[in-house]
Structure 1
Amino acid sequence: MSSHTSETSLPENLSEKTDVVRDPEHGLSRDDASAKKEVDDTLPDPFAVTTLSPEENPKNLSGLRKWAIVITICSGALCATCASSMAAFAEAGVSHDLHVGKEVSILGITLFVLGLGLGPLLVGPLSEVHGRNIIYRTSYGLFFAFSWAVAFPPHIAVYLIFRFLTGFCSAAFLSVAGGSVSDLYENDKLATPMAVFTISPFIGPVIGPVAAGFISENTDWRWIFRVIIIWTFLQFILLLALVPETFAPVLLKKKAQKLRKETGDSRYACPLDRRDRTMMQAMMISCYVPFTFPIIFGQVHHFSQEFVGLSFIGLGIGMLGGLSLQPFVNRHMHKLAAQNGGVHPPPEARLIPAMFGGVMIPLSLYWLAFTTYPQVHWIAPIIASVPFGTGIFLCFTSVFTYTVVAYRPIAASAMAANTFVRTSFAAVFPLFAGQMYDRLGTVGATALLAGLTTLFAPLPFIFYRIGARLRAKSRFTHA
């Protein structure tokens, strides 16, 4: 790239004008100067840093390196949601040792999930200005530091405040991680890594209770949070060792800074250097926790804490089953592209798995509801949870991939908005779940949830039909 501005020759007809006033500064007539500006505006800026070389482009990393990055950030998301669900098994200990009622101890889960919902509204836009890496390292470093106050709280106020802060800090992996996956892969290669990312936070409410059940049954409740401290420390080391910066605009910014330093020419600039959107504007743009199973298996079937945790295995099997369907989804996407002359199908094609998942979720919940009677063998509701896990996985991997493909320029902010909406309900659900199941019973309460999901089941079909029209009206969608 040249370090000086190239001369722009004027159109020949401009040199023939002799009856106009000359511009004393440039030696051109006013008409000449205006025409020259129009010509300059159509030429590429020689100081604009807008492309990465093949070796600088994260999409050209080796497949093994990409998967190392994906697995690392996915394990970060898994850790965050495990930290949420594991706390359900610390309720009794928190209530006893910190001298509060059950409703107050439940706030530890509510505030953590609230932090998970609010955090992305800040870290999503920040990642699109300062990059993914600094967000990961800062947020996980704070997650590790604040977890000590949760594991060793002197009183309930400290416990609750730092539960919120740890949720807020760990939220980066529920929004920014989706942006990182989109940084690494083109659309035709995006579905499988996005599916792995999707399952990582949702498998947390399966693994977390299994681990926490054994910990709480055999040792002090504080060890639940000590295990989280150990996990976050190891996760932080992996982030430092394996995850580079992947956000192209920030890589371009670093490239422009390097050129300015090497050449001494301050005119080199990247799009982020010329960004006119404020952080507040970016934040405005971006603007099923484990309770049901302990009630069904703990109170109805009288499982111990260890086995209440193990009751989540059916849900995990269902999610893994959904992940095993990904090759069929990929094959269908390639078939649609071939039928379209090799052109990628529209983003709405990514919603097809959600159509199946949207039907499976209410059906499995109805199945679960009517097999929760004490006289029905406990294996029946566990089997019912398998298609529920599959449906959840299909819905969310479909929605996540659709969001990233349709809103790729602001993928992290779009995922932040998605996370905020999703976790808003998850934050308040623990506050009324117990009372709902006490009043309606396991059958009535679970059937109520099934009815609500039935109302939402048509949404993937609706967006499949009208999504293109909605995107056409948005200035934030990917062309």
Structure 2
Amino acid sequence: MTVAMEKDKHHDSESESTTTIPVDGGPPLETGADRDLEPAHPENEKKLRVEDDVTLVEFKDGDPLNPLNMSPARKWLITIIVSNASLCVTCNSSIYTSTYTGIQDSLHISHIVAIIGLTLFIAGLGTGPLFLAPLSEFFGRRPIYLISYTLFCLLNIPLALSPTVWLFHPVRFIHGMTGSAFLSVAGGTVSDMFAKKDLGGPMAVYTASPFLGPVVGPILGGFIVAGAGWRWVFWVSLIWSFVVLIAIALGVPETYAPKLLVKVAARERQETGNPNLRAPMEVSQKSILKTIGVSVLRPFQLLIYEPIILALNIYTAFLLGILYLFFQAFPLVFHVSHGFPSSCTGLAFLGIGIGMVGATLSQPYWNGLYARRAQELAEKGEAMVPEERLRGAMVGGVLVPVGMLWFAFTSYKSIHWIVPIIAGIPFGAGVLLVYIPVFSFLVDSYRVYAASALASNSFVRSSFAAGFPLFSSAMYARLGNVWASAVLGFICLAMMPIPFFFFYKGQTLRKWSRYAYS
């Protein structure tokens, strides 16, 4: 089947029709850049000028090239592979914290310089999507995966063999950048394969994976360092990422529809003998440099002009910053105060991990709640508003300070170690319950600018996560284990009204916005 192309089609803003909106309250793409860039930021591209006799192809019903027609088993296999890749990447951010002592001794650096290796990796994670997401629009998802993840895999070698910090730290930054494709582009792969009604579950699995990675890292790293030394952390990472790379190469096909339609067009030209059949990508005159330029610039424009985005970004970034700060705090509480062996200190993150898994498993409830609310409003003839997505964030906003203050005031040496570990359950659940609704709210509120809104969130989150570990040791040394955590808990308590405020007042604020959908 073919569709005639309107001549000199114009776009005034980023195409709303191609922005992926989470379904039934389910989690959105991590950056949304893939869908928001279809066409990507149309002001980047020259207007499409197509001759009248040129027709654009689309998928036929049942076309095997259409990712939506894959079998459910294959779709879930691909989802598991890309989620595993995301887990491996973020695990590499935190597994590094188990190597501090060994790196300090081997490379002759101070503790704070060792922490910079964590900061640089996270900075790479935040920077990479600004370039990789728009590039995937021109070259497809699969080439970005194969090239970036091959580099991610190989860069473990100089990290494991590095004789000096002057080599180690720059490689850590590049390592983070190369792995960041699976925190941005991979969400599009999951979205490509599942119909909207089926997207909630797979996207919840994918969305949870980058948050579980930092929890798994210290657990795995502690045992590796104790048994084989710090350099083996990177050899194990090499093995893990190589296995994932093979799985990607063999099991993850191209799923980006514009790229696949190029094959459809070639096939139909051959079958019909009609040389005027074209895929949209074949007639597009988009500029790579301009597309990347808007991808980099627009998120900062939203931060400046949109107080809703700025407030929610700072809130979610603060929570992620605390998670990464725990990599310095947990050894003080559980290794120094409670006498955990270094290899077992990472087990203290199990509480947070359990909480995150629980929050992920609760997504069907929130999805159903959102669907029922949509039906109620539809029966009244009223439209669903984005603020309805924040119900889970309000619960998460309460759980986070509960977990933080519980952890803070049970960090005394006289209190059994299991009590502060259990405090991680409400904290971990609260973090994920805040994140998923906030992502959904941003996508729904800034539909035509969804990619840029989520990219701004990713940048601010990464900035906080990179910065918090740098001052955490000094903070805990000055205030002590209890009050350092308590200060963070009270700040979380002060920020708790944010999702409540936007739930009740967000619709009014969006009316004054220059970018928000209302």
TM-score range normalised by the length of the shorter chain: 0.7 to 0.9
Residue 389 (str. 1) matches residue 428 (str. 2): yes
Q: Does the CA-based 8 Å contact 1:174-1:419 persist in structure 2?
A: no
Give me the whole-angstrom Cα distance separating, in 2, the residues matched to 1:463 and 1:50.
43
Mapped contact 1:188–1:344 kept (Cα < 8 A): no
2:40 maps to: none
- In structure 2, C-alpha distance between the alignment counterparts of 1:5 and 1:328, rounded to whole Å: 42
**Residue equivalent to 1:325:** 362
The answer on 1:458 being equivalent to 2:497 is yes
- 89-98 vs 171-180, which deviates more? 171-180
User: Aligned residue for 2:121?
Assistant: 112
**Alignment partner for residue 449 of structure 1, among 484, 488, 491?**
488
Listed as ranges, the matches of 1:67-216 within 5 Å are: 67-216=76-225
- Deviation of 1:282 (Å): 2.9
Aligned to 2:336: 299
Residue 47 (str. 1) matches residue 54 (str. 2): yes
In the alignment, which residue of structure 2 is the partner of 1:30?
Answer: none
Cα deviation, residue 388, structure 1: 0.5
1:361 aligns with 2:400: yes
Distance 1:173 1:388, change over 3 A: same
* Matching residue of 2:311: none
Indicate if the aligned counterparts of 1:77 and 1:200 stay in contact, CA closer than 8 A.
yes
CA distance in 1, matches of 2:116, 2:4: 61
Matched, 1:351 2:390: yes
Q: Who is 2:10 aligned against?
A: none
State the distance in 2 between where 1:135 and 1:344 align. Answer: 39
**Partner residue of 1:440?**
479
Q: Which of the residues 241, 248, 273 maps onto 2:283?
A: 273
Q: Residue 124 of structure 1: CA displacement?
A: 1.7
Say which one has the larger Rg: 1
Please list the CA deviations of residues 409-461 of structure 1 after superposition, one character each: whole Å capped at 9, or x if unmatched: 77665543322211110111111110011011111111121122223323323
TM-score, normalised to structure 1's length?
Answer: 0.84
C-alpha separation between the residues in 1 aligned to 2:5 and 2:156? 54
Indicate yes or no: 2:438 matched with 1:418: no
Match for residue 14 of structure 2? none
- Secondary structure of the 1:49 match is strand
Displacement of 1:382 in angstroms is 0.6
Structure 1 residues 415 and 2 mapped into 2: Cα distance closer, same or farther (>3 Å)?
A: closer
Q: Deviations over 1:113-134 (max 9, x none)?
A: 1111111111122223322222
Matches of 2:58 and 2:497 in 1, distance apart? 42
- TM-score, structure 2 as length reference: 0.78
Q: Residues 409 and 374 (structure 1 numbering): CA distance in 2 closer, same or farther, change over 3 Å? A: same
Distance 1:310 1:252, change over 3 A: same
How far apart are the structure 2 equivalents of 1:459 and 1:223? 43
Distance, in Å, in 2 between the alignment partners of 1:441 and 1:380 is: 18
1:330, 1:73 → 2: CA distance?
Answer: 23
Q: How many residues of Structure 1 are paired with residues of Structure 2 in the alignment?
A: 444
Secondary structure of the structure 1 residue equivalent to 2:340: coil
Q: Structure 1, residues 46-79: CA drift from partner, whole Å, max 9, x if none?
A: 6342632232432333222221111111111110
* Aligned counterparts of 2:517 and 2:192: Cα–Cα separation in 1: 14
Q: How far, CA to CA, are the matches of 1:333 and 1:357 in structure 2?
A: 16
Structure 2 spans left out of the alignment, 5+ residues: 7-47, 301-322
Q: Using the alignment, how far apart are the partners of 1:446 and 1:114 within structure 2?
A: 24
- C-alpha separation between the residues in 2 aligned to 1:252 and 1:61? 16
Amino acid across the alignment from 2:179: S
Structure 1: segments with no counterpart, 5+ residues: 7-40
CA RMSD of aligned residues (A): 3.1
1:408 Cα deviation after fit = 6.8
The 2-side partners of 1:404 and 1:67 are apart by 24
Which residue does the alignment assign to 1:376? 415
Match of 2:68 among 55, 59, 78: 59
| Partners of 1:76 and 1:47 in 2: CA distance | 40
Aligned 8 A contact 2:130 2:296 in 1: yes
* C-alpha spacing 1:445/1:89, structure 2 compared with 1 (3 Å): same
